[in-house]
Structure 1
Amino acid sequence: MIDRDLSRVVEHALAEDLGLVGDLTTQVTVSAEVTGTAYLTARVPGVLSGARAVDATFAAVDPHVQVDWQRHDGDTLGAGDTIAIFSGRAASILTGERVALNLIGHLSGIATRTRGFVDLVAGTDTRIVDTRKTTPGLRSLEKRAVVDGGGVNHRFGLHDAILVKDNHIGLGGGLEAVLARLATHTGHLVRVEVEVDTLDQLAVVLKHDAVRLEEHSAPVVHAVLLDNMTPAQVAEGVALVRAHPAAVVVEVSGGVDETTVRDLALAGADVISIGALTHSVTCLDLGLDLHPAKREL
């Protein structure tokens, strides 16, 4: 899926930038015969993601531009590190520069922030995961960037898992009614997660499946999401889940940041999902400096 999405993203980004007539500035100021070498460098420390987006951009602009990668997706970058060396027609490098930098800077920003959260929970068994709070059209690329940063992907979309949230419960007639409907309509291959706002709701979920197990029926819920709970509440919820007769994943979410993530991990969360990995990321500061080489004969 990522290759198809990447082609579409690059196509739309270049069309947006070039319009119907192309790069007017470069056409006027730079001779088509000028070649050069450009160096992509990190201006600040971070984690790299998006090399394939750069390759796809220049392949679309001019397949004769050569890209020699010195660093690879998932690598830690230091300020001043050379990431890639480009060689070819200077005009082509200039034309593809902004789209390439926009994509790799954005994706590297996601990878960098993800790595920061992963480092903060080091030594625990907690995994850092993303959410569906992604930029429209960029989801597969952004989720790949989370992986490059050491995180794990949550469900990709509405189509590949069931996540029952408070609005589903409210509009579905209440928690017990929704659980009954899930038991009737979900198959054995569909993963089900239920979000709870209180420990009382968690107890209802666990009791529902405990009764099913006593009746020799399969449990309905595979994971619970403890939403906006304190570390103390998470620890209490984890204890309830661990006493349950079936294995249930404990996910924690809601307003998690760098100051709270470790305490939530130490409380026993299996998974901490963080929307800010993708919806509030700062672009990693990368630069592309072009040096003319020679005129073609």
Structure 2
Amino acid sequence: MARTRAGGGEGAGMDRSGPGGDPGSGEPTPAEQVQELLARAQNGFDIGEGVLERLGTALMHQCELRSYRQRNDEPRALRCNTYRHVFLLADGSSLLLYELEHDTGPEERFLYELYAREEALDEAERRVHERIGGGIGPGSEDEELPAWLAEELLLAMGPARPRREYVSEESPDHARRLLRRAENTDGPGEVVRELLQGALGHHIALITKPRRRGPGRDATWCRFYEHAFLLEGGGEVSLWELEHNMTTDGRLVCEVYLDEAEAEVAADRHARAQGVDL
């Protein structure tokens, strides 16, 4: 998997592939991404069949740097990077895999571990940080790059709007599922619903403006998706999905808006209600 690293060879990595991948670009499809993760992971067999079945429907893949640590006062540098792999599934939901990359083994090469549960990842990170030593663990301000800062580095790279590649299969059904899942009452109305029943194609894009604050599983975060629909006559309509956990119980919810700015305003409104600074 290609990763872009910043800051002397270590930093934020991102890899995006659209629905079905782009055979002409050489980018791996989401299914190929899953196979690559499993192939290099030492514990790939621990990922359950249920998770693998869901991943078989993945339409898009996004890789984000979750945490980073490097210790240079040893005979050789010891590094530990954690990546969050986000897969957008055919039913509109998302599934996360966590990849732990470290070189704390006897040989100077990276080893990889893969986890579907954040609790299991936390245990693995503690084990690796103990090997690195120095009395510094996840969340340290001395050597740890906070996950929110890694994402801010991605934002500084500028907005990424991938070229649209419309999928022509079940576009009206995709629109129905998306709007049915939305929990906000100020979303698209019946006119839009009826218009999208004649959609000829759709394209899903994870917009490069992830926001996250706080460590570990208690982090407050939100992400934005653009669902673009191709209409008869060549017209286009985009719906903007806001996925966040800024709820009283931390539950993950989906909201859908007709305008990108409306989704941004909603995210800021939820953040203020929860006393969070995004």
Q: Shorter-chain TM-score category?
A: under 0.3
**Structure possessing the higher radius of gyration over alpha carbons:** 1
Higher relative contact order (CA 8 A, sep 6+): 1
User: If the length of structure 1 is used for normalisation, what is the TM-score?
Assistant: 0.26
Higher normalized helix content (fraction of residues): 1
